[in-house]
Structure 1
Amino acid sequence: MLRSVSRFAALLRAFGRVFGNRNVRNIQLAGAGDVLGTYAYGVALPVYAYHAGGARAVGLLFLARFVFAALASPWLGVLADRWSRRRLMLGADLLRCGIFAAMTAVAATGGSAYAVYALAISSTIISAAYPPARAALIPSLVESPEELTSANLVGNSIASVGMFVGFALGGVLLAVSTPAVVFAVNGATFLVSIAFLLRVPADSPPERVAHPRFLPELTTGFATVVRWPALRTVVGLSAAQAMVEGALMVLVVVLALQVLHSGNAAVGWLNAGMGVGSIVGVGAVAVLASRRRLAGGFALGILLWGFPLAIAAATTTLAPAIILLGLVGMGVMLVETNGMTLLQRSADNEVLGRVFAVLQGLIFASMAVGAGIAPALVTWLGPRGALLAAGLFLPVLLVPTWPA
């Protein structure tokens, strides 16, 4: 007991060091600006697509976004290990500002939905450059493994608050305005991210012990993941979780509009429930980290991505569905924080960007599969059956894949 208290106190001290580290703090605040609008946009885009073409349009749009992002991720991971990671993040933010200005103009003037879809796909591809660069940059800014865990926890805590506020903001804005307004808000938040990134000193590209040709360099991340069993487990289960996440992006709209019959704003409230749950999940991550149980926390997160979603199939009113998605939100925090820290501690800095690019590429590909099959699940099994099937997938998969 005393040992756990002392470890938890040490973790809190590491939290203090993270907030006292100006560079890490600015990276985290840049992420806050990025996350806030992105989650509001995550409510508006599927609603826009649903009203333009139904659940099929939502599924196909997310399928296309994630397929192209998955294909681009390995190439962008090479850039994260060749270029300044800060500069890559700044470039991604600048390009997305322009894209969302164009998306706002098209949606506000009643332009073609296909133009909005094309811009959304372009934004997702460019966004794929940001997380690997950020995840690979943070270890060079901290001073200890405990501070690295805390930096990831702080980052995911900020993301959780941004998820809650962003989803709620998206729901409120949709209730009183149009998706075009939400698109404009998202574009503006990238300017906030740029302002904080400019306060971080320029970094140098990682030193390379060898200079291989581009194709072997491109596949190094895959080879690293395949070679290490721990990396294979974390990356594989994260990809499976992403498949359920992709399906949920479609199913949450179906849950709100077809199962609960609660209107467009309910999409925002259900997603906001996930945001609140992820904030609560910060405490669970802190306790598990104080006991150095990163792997156990990761597995618990995988389970929380499954069972509550299966139970949501039986709900008939909005409130219990929000609570259940809150439990899923706890799983989000556990999976992302523990998974990221396990990868950062296991891979060398020289290939870290490419390892995270492999993870992100597989996540995008899995989300594409999930988003693509979700409408078919709704057709075959009905809305409630689709939710049940999606919820049972991860618990069933965890048993044979988790190391003994």
Structure 2
Amino acid sequence: MIEPTSPTQIPAFRLIWISRLCAVVATTGMVVILGYQIYDIARSVHGMSIVDASFLLGLLGLAQFVPYALLSPVSGVVADRFDRRRVALMATILDFAIALALAIATFSDTSSLTLLFALAAAHGAARVFLGPSLGALVPNLVPERLLPRAVALSSTAWQFGALAGPTVAGLLYGGADWMPYALSTSLLVVSCTALFSIGPVPQALSDRETHPIRQFIEGYRFLRGHRFLLGCVTLDLFAVLMGGATALLPVFARDILHVGPEGLGLMRAMPGAGAAVVAFILSWRPIEREVGTKMLLGVAAYGAATVGFGLSTNFFLSLACLAALGAADMISVFIRSALQQLSTPDEMRGRVGAISGLFISASNELGEMQSGVAAALLHSAVAAVVFGGAGAIVVTLVWAVIFPELRNARTFAPQTREKEQVA
């Protein structure tokens, strides 16, 4: 039997890649339009001010984060105890139902703030099960020597999806407000079909005799025992928590840059465009040296690009800053994801993935909440974005001091072989 030289030579990995791409296009487009609808309804139907409507965008992030936080202990254990393919399939089916409900409500003109927030929370619940199960499934299919390339290729699917989803959704919304959700519904059918076609995948199941809460605590202990990995995850948490500019994009699109939903789609896609370029480069030539320093520089550049976006009053300059923001963030995502998969035993990947996913969700959704609150307190969306970007740079400097392992890490290898036992 010929050994594969690339993850793309493995049929099951190709199906996962297709499933991820379709799901990301569907859900990122869906969430962008959901945010624009909430902001537009708040402004046009309820007559809210820009500041009050911006605060609702922060609450949208919170609505998605709360179910994620509550269900993370369950989702990680489920991914380790049960068939990860089936768990991912059920989560994708839930997202399909959400997209269908949004399409019907928008087509029939029955959308309301209550309904939109409820469906956003349901999407948060679906995502908490999809991330750990799908992420932990890849190492079951790909040899360890090909895993960094598989991680980069998976990130490429995510970033290309994050590029296409908002762009297409914004353009479709300009034609008919229900069409983005109809597209999401169709793409999620394709995603479900690809997952179903993979078939059973061998995996090391965790001990079913141990209580689920105890198993989740073991995942936390494992992460705590790897200071480099802990530093990576928490750096991403606090940096993105401060620099969550994307939540306020509807404000910039509607009331600052005056480019409407079509412009919003392009703006929301630009971080994905920048990240997709970097992900493609990394899938061809992965980072191998000075990984810690490069991650720190990437996060600092992310903060600087956020500041640039907040200060920009030119639409095209704003797009460039958003693309730079995504490119810088992709470096951190690649390093963190590769380390996490390479350093975690298979029977614990679901739990560690759930914890990492919780941190990432906290940084994204709570970052959106922070942006909305900051915009309300500072009475300015621009000030909120600039403040957040500067905060991300400060966090990077602090983490470089309190986690010297980040500065000193030269390659992946020394980090992936430390402390195999649970601390």
| TM-score (ref. length: structure 2) | 0.86
Cross-structure match for 2:368? 371
Cross-structure match for 1:21? 10
Please give the alpha-carbon distance, in whole angstroms, between the structure 2 residues aligned to 1:156 and 1:15. 20
Please give the alpha-carbon distance, in whole angstroms, between the structure 2 residues aligned to 1:359 and 1:291. 22
Q: 1:168 Cα shift?
A: 1.1
Residues 48-197 of structure 1 mapped to structure 2, 5 A cutoff: 48-53=37-42, 54-111=53-110, 112-145=112-145, 147-178=146-177, 180-197=178-195
One-letter identity of the residue aligned with 2:327: M
Residues 3-402 of structure 1 mapped to structure 2, 5 A cutoff: 17-53=6-42, 54-111=53-110, 112-145=112-145, 147-178=146-177, 180-208=178-206, 211-244=209-242, 247-282=244-279, 285=282, 289-381=286-378, 382-402=380-400
The answer (yes or no) to whether the contact 2:66–2:121 under 8 Å persists in 1 is no
Instruction: Report SS of the residue matched to 1:392.
Output: helix
Q: 1:289 Cα shift?
A: 2.4
The answer (yes or no) to whether the contact 2:144–2:342 under 8 Å persists in 1 is no
The answer (yes or no) to whether the contact 2:224–2:230 under 8 Å persists in 1 is yes
The answer (yes or no) to whether the contact 1:60–1:372 under 8 Å persists in 2 is yes
Cross-structure match for 2:408? none
Please give the alpha-carbon distance, in whole angstroms, between the structure 2 residues aligned to 1:135 and 1:296. 25
1:172–1:244 Cα change, 3 Å:
farther
Q: 1:206 Cα shift?
A: 2.2
The answer (yes or no) to whether the contact 1:82–1:205 under 8 Å persists in 2 is no
Please give the alpha-carbon distance, in whole angstroms, between the structure 1 residues aligned to 2:293 and 2:282. 10
Q: 1:16 Cα shift?
A: 5.4
The answer (yes or no) to whether the contact 1:309–1:324 under 8 Å persists in 2 is yes
Q: 1:32 Cα shift?
A: 0.9
Cross-structure match for 1:9? none
What is the RMSD of the two structures over their aligned residues, measured on CA atoms? 2.1
1:302-341 Cα shifts (integer Å, max 9, x gaps) = 1232101101222111000000100011023212222110
One-letter identity of the residue aligned with 2:200: A
The answer (yes or no) to whether the contact 2:153–2:280 under 8 Å persists in 1 is no
Q: Which runs of 4+ in 1 moved over 4 A?
A: none
1:128–1:15 Cα change, 3 Å:
farther
Mean CA deviation greater in 94-103 or 121-130 = 94-103
1:126–1:291 Cα change, 3 Å:
closer
The answer (yes or no) to whether the contact 1:59–1:372 under 8 Å persists in 2 is yes
Mean CA deviation greater in 181-190 or 365-374 = 365-374
What runs of 5+ residues in structure 1 fail to find an aligned partner? 1-13
Please give the alpha-carbon distance, in whole angstroms, between the structure 2 residues aligned to 1:92 and 1:379. 34
Please give the alpha-carbon distance, in whole angstroms, between the structure 1 residues aligned to 2:216 and 2:237. 20
One-letter identity of the residue aligned with 2:226: W
1:287–1:22 Cα change, 3 Å:
closer
The answer (yes or no) to whether the contact 2:75–2:129 under 8 Å persists in 1 is yes
1:187–1:293 Cα change, 3 Å:
farther
Please give the alpha-carbon distance, in whole angstroms, between the structure 1 residues aligned to 2:4 and 2:399. 33
1:52–1:150 Cα change, 3 Å:
same
Instruction: Report SS of the residue matched to 2:311.
Output: coil
One-letter identity of the residue aligned with 2:36: V
1:276-296 Cα shifts (integer Å, max 9, x gaps) = 211221255358725344434
Q: 1:110 Cα shift?
A: 2.2
Please give the alpha-carbon distance, in whole angstroms, between the structure 1 residues aligned to 2:99 and 2:226. 40
1:322-376 Cα shifts (integer Å, max 9, x gaps) = 0010001102321222211011112211111101101111222333332222223
1:16–1:265 Cα change, 3 Å:
farther
What is the number of residues matched between the two proteins?
A: 388
State the percentage of identical aligned residues.
23
1:18–1:256 Cα change, 3 Å:
same
One-letter identity of the residue aligned with 1:306: G
1:192-227 Cα shifts (integer Å, max 9, x gaps) = 111211221212452336832222113222221122
| TM-score (ref. length: structure 1) | 0.90
One-letter identity of the residue aligned with 1:387: V
